[in-house]
Structure 1
Amino acid sequence: MFDFGLAGYQPCWLRGRNQLASRHGPRLQALAGRRLTRTWVVWDETADAWLADCPVVLDFDGERLEVNHQQRDLVSLTWNSIDLRQTPRWSVADQERKLGWRGDAPEAVAAAHGQQVAAVALLEWTGEDEARGSVAVGLRLASGWLTVYNALDENGLAFGPLDPAYQPPSPGLLRRSRPGPAGAAAGESAGRERRRTCLASSGAAWMWNRRPSSPT
């Protein structure tokens, strides 16, 4: 398992939104309502370019989500495991490449820092291309969607309107989820703070919305 020379980072590769939601759903749900305070990518200082093979780190008021994609449909989500004081390494053989973390790139993503997360979604790509079936992590912010997606064996970042190939859920297709017996207590506790919704048909997204404030 390649960890980019980052002690403590152990990517766990999953495939499909059901595996991701089963393993990470409650923690993704808990991000709704938080602020996206910072993001970091690995920068190749030698080439002056983003090294998209390395994990993308997103910070939400101290809760850090680490996203990485590989092959055509694998994605790893990890939490609070990367020490950003460590210098990433691409390979033992490649000693000339100088890498470091940047929190101000890409500019469109950095411009979203400080915005509140209105919804978190696991979005399945339905386009007629090689990426079909891959799953992206989407954050709905005030100024648009931030999407960390599979760019065919590396990460891609998009900011703005959601690509229609993701088929975002519409209000008419959403229903409240019901936690099973094992997760009932956790689901009831989380439900007091946020509403979890998922696509009721066999469509392509799981989405958790921030619960609207109660009228006073």
Structure 2
Amino acid sequence: MGIPGFEPSFLVGIDMVRQAHGARLAALVGRRLTGFALARFAEDGDPYADCPVVLDFEGVQVEICHWKFDELSIGWDTISTSAAITGWEESGLTPEWSHRDERLEPFVGRKLRDVALLERRPEPARRDLAAATVTVEFVFGATSLRIANGMDENSIETGAAPPEYVRHRPVR
């Protein structure tokens, strides 16, 4: 992806994600979201949803990236969003970090009240490619922010979680 410092470690399944990152996610509770970064294309401002969503909680940076239909990488303090995203010169596209997004801006300055890992479990009779994917949910008071698997890219969701999600505490 051309992101300096980004070395994803993709995991599959709620148990693997919880074991690897549950304690650190839980430790974010009580911190304020002080910033964020998303990659966008300079040419048209469209999001480049394959790149990680970077959230800063008072100096602790969490970097969330979904890949394929079921893989999730969570990184910690590895990406410098002041560094250029490189390697795209031949494509004619220029991804760059943006610190503006109407979905994320309302959460900046708010204290994180809870964090959870959500596992998608659709109705048994319904075929769903997203079944068993893991979403990271950040709860700020009465509303929440989720970084979900958007079928091989990151999807940012806000508000109440859909009923097909099963909520898991990040630490057992």
CA distance in 2, matches of 1:108, 1:69: 18
Q: Is 1:103 paired with 2:99?
A: yes
TM-score by length of 2: 0.91
Report the identity percentage: 31
Q: Determine if contact 2:18/2:170 at 8 Å carries over to the other structure.
A: no
Q: Report Cα offsets for 1:88-111 as digits up to 9, x if no partner.
A: 2464642x2122111111x02111
Deviation at 1:24, TM superposition (A): 1.0
Q: Report Cα offsets for 1:53-87 as digits up to 9, x if no partner.
A: 11100000000000000111000000000011112
Q: Is 1:156 paired with 2:152?
A: no
Q: Is 1:206 paired with 2:166?
A: no
CA distance in 2, matches of 1:133, 1:155: 16
Q: Which runs of 4+ in 1 moved over 4 A?
A: none
CA distance in 1, matches of 2:60, 2:54: 10
Query: For residue 108 of structure 2, what is the aligned residue in structure 1?
Result: 113
Helix, strand or coil at the partner of 2:107: coil
CA distance in 2, matches of 1:207, 1:79: 16
Query: For residue 79 of structure 1, what is the aligned residue in structure 2?
Result: 76
Q: Is 1:31 paired with 2:28?
A: yes
**What letter matches 2:97 in structure 1?**
W
Deviation at 1:34, TM superposition (A): 0.8
CA distance in 1, matches of 2:153, 2:93: 18
More helix by share: 1
TM-score by length of 1: 0.73
**What letter matches 1:33 in structure 2?**
G
Q: How many residues align?
A: 167
Helix, strand or coil at the partner of 1:37: strand
**What letter matches 2:72 in structure 1?**
V
CA distance in 2, matches of 1:25, 1:99: 31
CA distance in 2, matches of 1:15, 1:46: 34
Deviation at 1:206, TM superposition (A): 2.5
Helix, strand or coil at the partner of 2:38: strand
Unmatched 5+ stretches in structure 2: none
Query: For residue 123 of structure 1, what is the aligned residue in structure 2?
Result: 118
Alpha-carbon RMSD: 1.5
Q: Does the C-alpha gap of structure 1 residues 165 and 90 become closer, same or farther in structure 2, counting only changes over 3 Å?
A: farther
- Bigger Rg, structure 1 or 2: 1
Q: Determine if contact 2:25/2:170 at 8 Å carries over to the other structure.
A: no
Helix, strand or coil at the partner of 1:42: strand
